[in-house]
Structure 1
């Protein structure tokens, strides 16, 4: 009786152990697919860029990594804008939460990010400085709040000068800014 109870406990705990192992390995780098030679690397604040990243991942059966700073940006939109402005003006490159450990296996990198202050966010600059993308095909996808791409393409090209760049996909996705403006107007 005790043996069958122990056996049943062991068998029922196997799926939980598998989930734990999967979560541990997912935190060490890009989420893998069996034969992916394409990586989707993206940074998002509100989730707009993530939507595009997930669609690209599905369409290309690509590996996926979210680019995150070691210290997250503030939740408050205006605090984030102020911090990003300071970082850009000072040339500060925030440390990253993780690096892509096996970048050599990827031939193509879809690089996604929002425009911050008419340029690429500091965390994207950190990502490009921290990874050698020489010889890789870079396909930028960029969200913005209505002001366009600014100098972001020049910035990413300067930080990955030996990569081959394809034309970017860009999308106006400024719901957060518009919402804040409408609430301010409503509040008077």
Structure 2
């Protein structure tokens, strides 16, 4: 994979199509269900994360909550501890809250787009749609991006196995 100046890999191929209205969903290039499940399970395995019903998304969405941050959050808590969620298998994309500089980098590298409500001023430019991973290499990148959202919400910088979380630094 090619990388950006920040070391973020560039997602190959064109962006998937997505709706421009609510609900904001990915329409094509959908991730295989097995990869969606693995990405969901990875998010739920992070220290202090609990599974819940999303307060804002479609039925069947699995939300990620961090009730007690262990670090100082880098983004505001706009949804009562819900820092992200993954949509049902028919879609497979995620909505995550990340710092705006990371959001810009992810969008430039082809991994994400702003939530459709950002352009209307309803949501701040920290809410992105992360496209679902199409293969193992993309799953690895998406897992690191999920970790970045978790860290931005105030999650622990080290997982239960002692591994440092987040995207590799260049």
Q: TM-score range by the shorter chain?
A: under 0.3
Normalised to the residue count of structure 1, the TM-score between the two structures is: 0.22
Quick check: which has more Rg, 1 or 2? 1
| Structure with higher RCO (Cα < 8 A, 6+ apart) | 2
Normalised to the residue count of structure 2, the TM-score between the two structures is: 0.24
